[in-house]
Homo-oligomer: A and B are copies of this chain.
């Protein structure tokens, strides 16, 4: 690989130099190889990492401390692909006030049971789902089981296609692929849902 200076790193990643320096200080980007007292040389792995950080912040909308956790999951050696997916998820679930929606845990468990899904008792996903359902109820917009089942079925078909895509691209950085695919396809799924809502709603409005 051809080494490069920071200016080329900026051009290749599309990021301003001060941002790259900030990422170096924050350890989101590993240091280059020092050449003399004030200069360092970088390589393709730095370009790749910067593009990843950029996509996670600009496309997936993650905050820097979440980006840090994602990178830690990707860089953690010796975790299986399955564990990597799980660990990235566990680290990324947004915090819901503890206790909020606890009365809805049985309903979440019933939903999972209908699909034959297992979920670790300590998984934060249960609390995330229960918290969202509790908030909808509190706002006077309760969700019916039938709707949740449609959501779960849609989620399963999407997850199956995610795992198939992973098989096709199977290679060294499968962990990165799993984590990146999970995060960057989230805005795709949400945007498609919004387009679909507008279209279904438009057809009904006629």
Contacts and interface: CB of A to CB of B under 8 A. Distances in A.
Given A118-B202, A184-B132, A197 B157 contact: no
A195 interface: yes
A158 B152 contact: no
Nearest to A159: B196
A163 interface: yes
Given A118-B202, A165-B144, A184-B135, A194 B154 contact: no
B129 A201 contact: no
A26 interface: no
A80 B198 CA distance: 12
Contacts of A198: 82, 85-86, 89, 119
Interface in A185-206: 185-202, 204-205
Interface residues of A, number: 86
A52 interface: yes
B205 A82 contact: yes
Interface string A176-188: 0100111011111
Contacts of A80: 205
A138 B94 CA distance: 27
Interface in A35-91: 48, 51-52, 54-55, 58-59, 61, 80-82, 85-86, 89
A191 B55 contact: no
A110 interface: no
Interface of A: 14, 48, 51-52, 54-55, 58-59, 61, 80-82, 85-86, 89, 93-94, 96-97, 112, 115-119, 123, 125, 128-129, 131-133, 135-136, 138-141, 143-144, 146-148, 150-165, 168-169, 177, 180-182, 184-202, 204-205
